[in-house]
Amino acid sequence: MAAAGWYHRDISQVVVEELLAKAGRDGSFLVRDSESVKGAYALCLLFQRHVYTYRILPDDEGLLSVQTIQGIQTKCFRTLPELIGAYQHPNNGLVTPLLHPVHRPRPAEDSDGEDARGWGHSVPCPGAPPSSRTHIPQQLHQRLQEQVHSSPASDFMGFMAEYLTHHVQDLQGLCHGHPQLRHLSTALATACRALHSEIDFTLAGLETLAKVFDPPLSPRSPAREQGFLSSDPDLELLLSKISTVNHLLSSLEKKVLKSLQETVTRHNLALPSMAMAPQPPARPLAMQNFEVKVGKSQRAALTVDVESGTVTVTKRGSGSLEEVIPHDKILQLIKYQSVQSKVRLVCARENQKSLSRDFIFPNARKREAFCQLLQLMKIQHSNLDEPEIISVYVGTWNMGSTPPPRSLASWLTSRGLGRTQDETTACIPHDIYVIGTQENSLGDHEWVEFLCASLKTLMAIDYRVVALQCLWSIKIVVLVKPEHQRRISHVHTSSVKTGIANTLGNKGAVGVSFLFNGTSFGFVNCHLASGSEKTHRRNQNYSDILHSLALGDKCLGGFDLTLRFTHLFWLGDLNYRLDMDVQDILTHIVKKEFQALLAVDQLNLEREKNKVFLRFSEGDISFPPTYRYERGTRDTYVWQKSKPTGMRINVPSWCDRVLWKSHPETHVVCNSYGCTDDIVTSDHSPVFATFEVGVTSQFVPKEAPGSSPEALACIEWESIEVILKTTSRSKCYIEFHSYCLEEMQRSGENTFQSCDIPGFLKLGWSSKHLPVLNPILPDLEYLGDQHLLLSIKGVESCESYGECCLALRSAIGSTAQQFETFLFHRGEETGSVRGWMRVRVPRGRCGTRERLYEWISFEEEDAEPAAEPPMCPKPPPQRLRSRPRSLPEPATGYTNPAYFIFEGVPNAWLPAPGESSKKQVEGPAGGQPCRSPAGPRVPLPSEEEPWCGRPRCGPPSPSRGHPLSPSRAGHHKRPKSAILTRDTVGLGDCSLYVAPHLSQLDQVSPQGRGDRQEVPLRQTQQPARM
């Protein structure tokens, strides 16, 4: 057996089931690393078309055993191959013996000699014997030979070539439990022999200098003494010397500074005042004028004075002052969606009646600038202790291994091509700047100082460094305004290598996460594999980054990275290309026909297939491809590149992107997305995006704890139903995580289970098996900002099948609300979840207020409301966000077939294999179209069950079992947790009536108000397992 082909390392459950499904035989098995217990394994076994998962756990002595139920004696084994061999015999407690090992698929090498998972060698299994016919040395020698021509260290390469010939000896030792790699140590020590004398010389000089300033604290180091006594060039000794040099260099400056300070104190020397000079005040914003049209023909001028907090309206022609509107009289700002340049200003009058006035700007950019200035005016004059809305700048640039130009003004002020900032708002400083670079040849501190100096020149503000994380030439820098520094906490940084064998940092990602008061942020800057043909490799890079990047709260480490933060921004050189002939691409660029190119953009196509960036958002792309330009100009694309293997074609592409994903019912708006046109040092153009983000503060209750009898809020569940895309039959439980809970809560096992549909598992929980959750604070204002993270875990394996995020805001009230959303795990969509929940708030804690970011709303002009049955309450108007034009309309709207299993969709509605599914059908409400599902046909369940016995109301569907889907389910905008208004909120109820506009969802009858129905759910038998 060659290095245990059945051991697959850290692949996901989805990949496991795909491999076992391809094997197709009972008794097919493989082993992967456990996701829930470090150092443990998961044994996955196929039997009767279902996958069974068993945990293999190590004990304190390192012995391995299959986890069993209490009272069953365990069998222990020294190595994994021994354990697998023992369970290949019958009557061992598994559902079937281990009969057919499923081997790892062999990755195909790409044109650069890199494969999808490494260097082409097999993964050594713990305790597995080595292969006597390995071909690894030949491959490694060939790779080394390719490097010799470009490396000046030919002597060192000779030592390494010698090691590669005999490295199998280390492989044998590793498989026998000796991970010391003695032969590698010997080869390195021999190669580094000349380094000893150099280090000894440097170390002696540093120690002498250190003794001058601090004699008692700098004795001769043990490593140094040992170096003089021993001539054996031991590698451990060399590392010890290097560590000593590193310590001396880092501490020498402190020693010298301390010595000089003691000298000053001892001799009573006078020093000039070290008091920091006061920060120069921020540049006041000049008054801005906007030419607008009022009514059909009347011209007027709007003057915005942010400093004084007023808006002045002056009619053109007369030149007389018409009206001065103070900021506290402006009640609301409404943007029209049908006319992108139109806005309505709602103002208060002395007679208690509001006055609405419509203004039409020359273009949408001017309107956005006006709205931003009014938003800034509201913020400055709000007298709030903590901000409720901040501006975030995100920039990414592949610098092409060349120094930057002297000025980055256009990049840092979002000026250039695409959706850019208007000149009236371009120099308004952002609260947070996040700068990601790739192929950055500058030193880390040199780059940070250059950025800070550039921002100070532009904004007259000394920005503070929150974090700097680097991986080779991939860097990310986070800067904040000085006044926000105290609001930043829990800063974490991490990096992941995805280069050759996932060990080289020329490709990979760096990340930063932190809390801004009560809002969590995550930022990831990546550089993925290059080459038009390496789409799969880039997808794999994304998956590896998602799985390995250690950011955010450690308690949420088991959750998908995209769910750990209130707002996650992903930027970088993603390297996805355009699948079109280069001449056709150039023709479309000249004509500015970007939509035709976006339709063949690999990133958009992969997102449509749900391969990467599930439920992420991206701004509309209205700028030309940012790669590959001729350096020194932005007029010419250089798409041919000469390589030793021949001429390589690099078609112009949007390699450099910014995407984001946020929790449901949070506020984030992309105000600009474009690239510069005057920074020409690299073959990539810098890309920028700016965002308006709502943030929460650390909530302080108005009533002190203990001042009155403590009233508790509670989160109650009536039922939860889950569809998992899995062939497992495992019983499951749900974990509930939230910052508003003292600790994680857990449900009981599911009370209903069905696997009638091949490839899907349907689970249900009644209210008796779901915990009542008590938030730490009962105030409505606090709970309206909170979210719950749910994780569906298998009882036997304790591993997650999928996670999701729910907002509490729309569930607050006296009656239950329905939620529905997707499940994710390791970046893949794994199912769906829906149910009924209510958040009860004590009557004395129902105070709330409008947030600053709720002050601006959207409205369709002359939009007629859709006809609805009188029995169903009409949800309040909700802001609708259009799908980015940069993402082509998908051929199908529904990407998750689990939704059709929820409702039991007739086969006639589903496309046959290979059949186009572009035909639209009428939706269940509001007459909005919905699309047929993609993928294989899902058969009709044998018996359609009502949703927890609840009657439905609404227009009759054209066919039994109409599909139910979240709002805009087929789009790659992040779906909100879909809340159905089940009841009209009474005037006396303690409720926050905020429900998304979901015209595609069924409306539920208000009958049975406030009831709690429990419907017995069927339970299927489970096969006996250990």
Q: What is the DSSP string of 320-334?
A: -EEEEEEGGGEEEEE
Furthest C-alpha separation in the chain: 98
Residue 253, Ramachandran bin (φ over 0: left; ψ between -120 and 50: alpha; else beta): alpha
For the segment 549-602, what is each residue's pLDDT rounded down to a tens digit?
A: 999 988 888 888 999 999 999 999 999 999 999 999 999 999 999 999 999 999
Yes or no: say if 605 and 890 are a contact pair by the CB < 8 Å rule. Answer: no
Q: What is the pLDDT of residue 916?
A: 38
Structure tokens, 783:
């709970």
The residue ranking higher by pLDDT, 644 or 975, is 644
Q: What is the pLDDT of residue 449?
A: 95
Q: How far is CA 190 from CA 6, 155, 184, 185, 240, in A?
A: 38, 11, 10, 9, 16
**If pLDDT is split at 50, 70 and 90, which confidence band does 509 have?**
very high
Q: What is the Cα–Cα distance from 950 to 944, expressed in whole angstroms?
A: 13
23-32, 552-561, 875-884, 932-941, range with greatest mean pLDDT: 23-32
Lowest mean pLDDT: which of 304-308, 416-420, 461-465? 304-308
Q: What is the pLDDT of residue 338?
A: 79
pLDDT over threshold 60, residue 747: yes
Q: What is the Cα–Cα distance from 64 to 297, expressed in whole angstroms?
A: 83
Residue with tokens 């506009």: 997
Q: What is the pLDDT of residue 42?
A: 92
Q: What is the Cα–Cα distance from 800 to 817, expressed in whole angstroms?
A: 26
**If pLDDT is split at 50, 70 and 90, which confidence band does 837 have?**
very high
Lowest mean pLDDT: which of 256-265, 357-366, 528-537, 686-695? 256-265
Q: What is the pLDDT of residue 764?
A: 96
**If pLDDT is split at 50, 70 and 90, which confidence band does 323 have?**
confident
pLDDT over threshold 60, residue 1014: no
pLDDT over threshold 70, residue 922: no
If one counts every other C-beta atom within 10 angstroms of the C-beta of residue 590, the result is 9
**If pLDDT is split at 50, 70 and 90, which confidence band does 206 have?**
confident
If one counts every other C-beta atom within 10 angstroms of the C-beta of residue 539, the result is 21
Q: What is the pLDDT of residue 927?
A: 36
Q: What is the Cα–Cα distance from 800 to 780, expressed in whole angstroms?
A: 31
Phi/psi at 605 (nearest 5 deg)?
-65, -40
Name which of 853, 703, 18, 727 is nearest 375 in CA terms: 853
pLDDT over threshold 90, residue 496: yes
Q: Looking at this protein, which amino acid is placed at residue 42? A: A
pLDDT over threshold 70, residue 433: yes
Q: What percent of the chain has pLDDT over 70?
A: 64
Q: What is the pLDDT of residue 371?
A: 84
Mean pLDDT of 734-760: 92
For the segment 179-189, what is each residue's pLDDT rounded down to a tens digit?
A: 556 666 666 66
Name which of 731, 734, 732, 730 is nearest 717 in CA terms: 734
Lowest mean pLDDT: which of 265-279, 444-458, 511-525? 265-279
Q: What is the pLDDT of residue 369?
A: 82
Q: What is the pLDDT of residue 890?
A: 43
pLDDT over threshold 80, residue 112: no
For the segment 124-161, what is each residue's pLDDT rounded down to a tens digit?
A: 555 444 443 344 455 555 555 555 444 444 455 555 55
332-341, 770-779, 1010-1019, range with greatest mean pLDDT: 770-779
Mean pLDDT of 609-637: 95
For the segment 850-873, what is each residue's pLDDT rounded down to a tens digit?
A: 666 666 677 754 444 444 443 433
Q: What is the pLDDT of residue 41?
A: 93
Residue 395's beta-bridge partner residues? 435, 688
Residue 83, Ramachandran bin (φ over 0: left; ψ between -120 and 50: alpha; else beta): alpha
Q: What is the pLDDT of residue 288?
A: 87
Instruction: Give residues with Cβ within 8 angstroms of 632, minimum separation 6.
Output: 680, 681
Mean pLDDT of 914-933: 35
Q: What is the Cα–Cα distance from 646 to 322, expressed in whole angstroms?
A: 71
Mean pLDDT of 899-904: 52
259-268, 294-303, 385-394, 908-917, range with greatest mean pLDDT: 385-394
252-256, 826-830, 985-989, 1015-1019, range with greatest mean pLDDT: 826-830
Q: What is the pLDDT of residue 586?
A: 96
The residue ranking higher by pLDDT, 686 or 378, is 686
Q: What is the Cα–Cα distance from 172 to 488, expressed in whole angstroms?
A: 50
Q: What is the pLDDT of residue 505?
A: 74
For the segment 516-525, what is each residue's pLDDT rounded down to a tens digit?
A: 988 999 999 9
**If pLDDT is split at 50, 70 and 90, which confidence band does 910 have?**
very low
Q: What is the pLDDT of residue 426?
A: 81
Q: How many helices (H) and strands (E) does the chain have?
A: 18, 41
Q: What is the pLDDT of residue 255?
A: 63
**If pLDDT is split at 50, 70 and 90, which confidence band does 964 have?**
very low
pLDDT over threshold 60, residue 168: no
- The pLDDT mean for the chain works out to 75
For the segment 3-40, what is each residue's pLDDT rounded down to a tens digit?
A: 578 998 888 888 899 999 999 999 999 999 988 888 89
Yes or no: say if 460 and 283 are a contact pair by the CB < 8 Å rule. Answer: yes
pLDDT over threshold 80, residue 531: yes
pLDDT over threshold 50, residue 658: yes
Q: What is the Cα–Cα distance from 838 to 93, expressed in whole angstroms?
A: 43
Rg (CA), the chain: 32
Give, as one character, the DSSP assignment of residue 261: H
For the chain, give the number of residues: 1026
Which long-range CB contacts under 8 A does 104-110 form with residues at least 24 apart? 104/5, 104/8, 105/19, 110/531, 110/533, 110/534, 110/537
Mean pLDDT of 883-890: 43
Q: What is the Cα–Cα distance from 68 to 72, expressed in whole angstroms?
A: 6
Q: What is the Cα–Cα distance from 40 to 33, expressed in whole angstroms?
A: 6
Strands (E), 226-297: 288-294
Instruction: Give residues with Cβ within 8 angstroms of 158, minimum separation 6.
Output: none
Residue 489's beta-bridge partner residues? 515
Q: What is the Cα–Cα distance from 233 to 226, expressed in whole angstroms?
A: 11
Name which of 397, 451, 461, 459 is nearest 425 in CA terms: 459
pLDDT over threshold 50, residue 911: no
Yes or no: say if 105 and 525 are a contact pair by the CB < 8 Å rule. Answer: no
